[in-house]
A = this chain, B = another copy of it.
Amino acid sequence: MSEELTGVLQAVRQRVEPTDAERERLDRAATEVIDRAEAALEEQGIDGDVMLVGSTARNTWIAGDRDVDVFVRFPPDTERQRLESVGLEIGHAVLPDDHEEYAEHPYVVGEVDGYDVDLVPCYDVEDATAIQSAVDRTPFHTEYLRTRLDDDLADDVRLCKAFLKGIGVYGSDLRTRGFSGYLTELLVLEHDGFRSLIEAAAEWHPPVRFDPETHGTATFDDELVVIDPTDPERNVAAALSTANLARFQHYARELLAEPRGSLFDPSEPEPLDPVAVRAAFDERGTTPVALTFETPALVEDDLYPQLEKSLDGVGGLLDRHGFDVLRSAAFADERAVLLFELEVAQRPAIERHVGPPVHVREHADGFYEKYADTDVYGPFVSDDRYVVERERAYRTAAELLESDALFDVALGTDVESALKTDHTVLIGPAVGTLAETFGRELAGYLDPKP
């Protein structure tokens, strides 16, 4: 078994290790960007420096990766506005085919020799606890790891990244909510290799806490806590979801029990067509219902949390009205979809409405008088309370979702605006049409893997 794992890891290691030619090419490209940026900085008369960061700087990039991150560090007393405007100027001067993107502040993205280069301005602060902007931390991470990751560990970081990509939990963006590159590096370093990390993870009992520099000061509610070696108050694993941690544990056990290279290959299901989607829901005997609307123009890190929040809000609304939700999912392309799969899509004409205890006279009298001469069933007495069976406001899930009640629940701000502008409710077989855009997502939904 152990032999078998060794063989699998050896094969993957070869696949993910960049060739010498690849390394040289990347070095050339990076050096060129750094040189240009240093010249631009000097031209602007700024006493800063330029630094290669990220996996390319740490020798932990996977063969085929095409991302180069270069940071331009400004003196900490630079005004924010000046940092932003000069940062962009330098970016435009250095990078061809460039455009601006925006995280905590704007930066420039372009292409050099086939590499996607991010050129990000930041402050050159004393240490990572003194940061003025979230990106200021990155150079410290690079410094910390460069001295600690030898070639063997760098190999294992690559293995681990390939594994996390293979099982779909790599990336700390708020769509994925998985493992960041830095988190991966720290975990491999902490466990002195991929294999021992995997062996440990198979047995973790969250909450699990690591503090490489034993300097952590804060406590965290997260299931996995890795205190940032450069900042005692930060959990590097804060973005990791509970489910992705559980997936990591599941696949760690899988890899140990049945070592196979396929666990390192991301696999996407074949898309389903509308007919197949209808047939699948039919076989499950459930009622799918979907809200579709124009996707708000947001970066993924803003969009997906809003979709999740909206999914919870609308799911709760359906549940509260008796339309029991079995499972739900959100998809986004040009239009976004909130999909709910219902166990119950229709309720009776009436609903039980329980009033106050009869002996609490003030409330009881008010309740009784409110309903006594209406066409409800009752009021009658059940246990110590008045009860009526009154007309139900929404007999079907479609009626509920087409009503204004949709806007009484917590929705993402921009999702709410988009829904108000225009939305469509699809129910039952009509949901099949979503396969025209989301055939792959629906295939994944209907054949769920760990």
Contact = CB atoms under 8 A, between A and B. Distances in A.
A260 interface: no
Contact of A247 (B223, B250, B381): B381
A326 interface: yes
Contacts of A378: 448-450
Interface string A329-361: 000000000000001100111101000011111
Contacts of A203: 361
Given A249-B359, A343-B322, A359-B249, A348 B243 contact: no
Nearest to A203: B361
B322 A365 contact: no
Nearest to A206: B359
B384 A348 contact: no
A377 interface: yes
Nearest to A283: B349
A34 to B, nearest CB: 42
A45 B277 CA distance: 92
A446 B378 CA distance: 9
Contacts of A249: 358-359
A443 to B, nearest CB: 13
A47 interface: no
Counted per complex, copies of this chain come to 2
Given A202-B361, A223-B384, A343-B347, A377 B448 contact: yes
A326 to B, nearest CB: 6
Interface string A356-374: 0111110011001000000
A364 to B, nearest CB: 8
Contacts of A359: 204-206, 246, 249
A380 interface: yes
B246 A284 contact: no
Nearest to A325: B352
Interface string A57-75: 0000000000000000000
A327 interface: yes
A447 interface: yes
Contact of A284 (B253, B349, B357): B349
B284 A389 contact: yes
A448 B253 CA distance: 60
Contacts of A448: 377-378, 380
Nearest to A350: B284
A286 interface: yes
A203 B364 CA distance: 11
A203 B203 CA distance: 63
A206 to B, nearest CB: 6
B343 A285 contact: no
B253 A365 contact: yes
A133 interface: no
Given A246-B357, A284-B348, A285-B350, 10 more contacts: A202-B361, A223-B384, A283-B349, A286-B349, A322-B344, A326-B352, A327-B389, A343-B347, A343-B348, A378-B448
Interface of A: 202-206, 223, 242-243, 245-247, 249-250, 253, 283-286, 322, 324, 326-327, 343-344, 347-350, 352, 357-361, 364-365, 368, 377-386, 389, 395, 446-450
The 9 closest A-B pairs by CB, nearest first: A285-B349, A380-B448, A285-B348, A246-B358, A286-B348, A246-B381, A243-B381, A246-B384, A242-B384
